[in-house]
Amino acid sequence: MTDAPAGLTVVNGSVSPARKRITTILIHAALLGASILMLYPLLWMLAASFRPENEIFTSASIIPSSWSIDSYIRGWNGLRTSFGVFFTNSFIISILSVCGNVLACSMAAFAFARLQFRGRNFWFAMMLMTLMLPYQVTLIPQYVLFRQLGWVNTFLPLVVPKFLAADGFFIFLMVQFFRGLPKELDEAAQMDGCSPWRIYWKIVMPLSLPVLATAAIFTFIWTWDDFFGPLIYLSEMRQYTVMLGLRTFTDSTGTSDYGGLFAMSVLSLVPIFLFFLFFQRLLIEGIATTGMKR
């Protein structure tokens, strides 16, 4: 199922306009076909959210026998706290995380990529090491630590690490992109007497919009989708995130509300999809379009 567009990667020679048009049509056909594969789960979930509960697992057709928005109403208000609260919480945590990650990780990445200091390679190796240990074994020590800090049952364990660049993924990502910026830029700026801070803020950051947008998108989506952190650190329902709320719909041992689960799952996708749509425009800006490279 996944090979469809891959077959089209053989790049065309672009000789005649007619051939070019055929290629374009073929590409669109392949992309559309692949899109259906990508869309199918969403359509299924959408259908499930409108179905009667006892039809979700027993009906083979993707079209519900009857359409009902009961699941949405029940799901939104079904828990003691409305899903509106969960959405607000998820927003607060995700937006703060985006700010923290973009700022702190870009600073660290700037240091690693464009400044020289003793111990740089050592710290870089340490940073990579933090990526390699499965979180399952640091969970309890970390919980104990956050509890001593008095942060359990607050958003702090979920947000503060972001402002301290705790996710090495983004540092590494930005390092790779910062190193791709022409060094003549800093040299010139530095001759003009710019401080490292100004170079970071006025040159490197503006030129790195694509990677910063990438980091913002990933941070938002991954924080939104993160489940384990909120599970461990939040206990009161009014603090729950959307993902945590979704998990309470099903229990493998007893009665579950699948309709509510799928209805709220559909809704939970809306903000991250919109965030993606908005920020992906920044992906195509930056160096290539400003033509500053070289």
Partner 1 sequence: MAVQTVSPADLSPPAKQTSLWSRIWHNDAPGYLFLLPWLVGFLGLTIGPMVTSLYLSFTDFDLLTAPEWVGANNYIRMLTNDPKFWTSMRVTMFFVIFSVPLKLAFALAVAMLLNRGIRGLPLYRALFYLPSLLGASVAIAILWRQIFAGDGLVNKFLAMFGIIGPSWISNPNYSLWTLIVLSIWQFGSPMIIFLAGLRQIPQDMYEAASLDGASKWRQFVKITLPLLTPVVFFNAIIQTIEAFKSFTPAFIISGGTGNPINSTLFYTLYLYQEAFGFFRMGYASALAWVLLALVGVFTAFSFLTSKYWVHYDD
Partner 2 sequence: MTIRVDRRKFLMGSTALAAAGAMGVMPAWAQSEDLRLIFWGGQARADRTNKVTDLFEQAKGGSVQSEFLAWNDYWPKLATQTAGGNAPDVIQMDYRYIVEYAKRNAIAPLDEFVGGALQLADFDQDQLEGGKVDGKLYGISLGANSVAMLMNVTAFEEAGIEPPTNDWTYDDIMTMGEAFKAANVRGGMKLIADGSYNEPMLNNWLRQKGKELYTADGKLAFEEADMVEWFKLWQTMRDAGVCVAPDEQALDTGPLESTMLVSGKAALLPANSNQLVAFQAIMQDKVDMVGHPRIAPGAGGGHYRKPSMFFSVAASSANKERAAEFLNFFISDPEAAKILDVERGIPCLPSTRDVVAPILDEQNLIALNFVSNLGDLLGPLPPPPPAAAGEIDLSLLRVIGQEVGFGARTPEDGAAYFVSEATAILERAA
Binders of partner 1 among residues 59 to 98 (CB under 8 A) are none
State yes or no: residue 58 binds partner 1 (CB under 8 A). Answer: no
State yes or no: residue 186 binds partner 1 (CB under 8 A). Answer: yes
State yes or no: residue 288 binds partner 1 (CB under 8 A). Answer: yes
**192: its two tokens:** 């003009």
State yes or no: residue 213 binds partner 1 (CB under 8 A). Answer: yes
* 240 contacts 81 by C-beta, under 8 angstroms: yes
Please identify which residue in 47, 78, 168, 215 interacts with partner 2, judged by CB under 8 A.
78
Cβ proximity to partner 2: between 108 and 234 the closer is: 234
State yes or no: residue 66 binds partner 2 (CB under 8 A). Answer: no
Q: Applying CB under 8 A, which part among 144-152, 161-169, 172-180, 262-270 lies near partner 2?
A: 144-152
Cβ proximity to partner 2: between 75 and 168 the closer is: 75
Residue whose pair of structure tokens reads 């991250």 in the numeric block: 272
Q: What is the Cβ-side half-sphere exposure of residue 219, based on CA atoms within 13 angstroms?
A: 35
Look at residue 76 and give the partner it binds from partner 1, partner 2, none, a contact being a CB closer than 5 to 8 Å depending on partner kind.
none
* CA 13 to mean position of chain CA atoms: 36
Q: How far is the CB of 68 from partner 1 (least distance, A)?
A: 19
* 6 contacts 29 by C-beta, under 8 angstroms: no
Binders of partner 2 among residues 207 to 246 (CB under 8 A) are 231-232, 235-237
* 205 contacts 222 by C-beta, under 8 angstroms: no
**85: its two tokens:** 């609260």
* Sequence-separated (6 or more) residues with CB below 8 Å from residue 12: 19, 20, 23
State yes or no: residue 54 binds partner 1 (CB under 8 A). Answer: no
Q: How far is the CB of 146 from partner 2 (least distance, A)?
A: 9
* 168 contacts 128 by C-beta, under 8 angstroms: yes
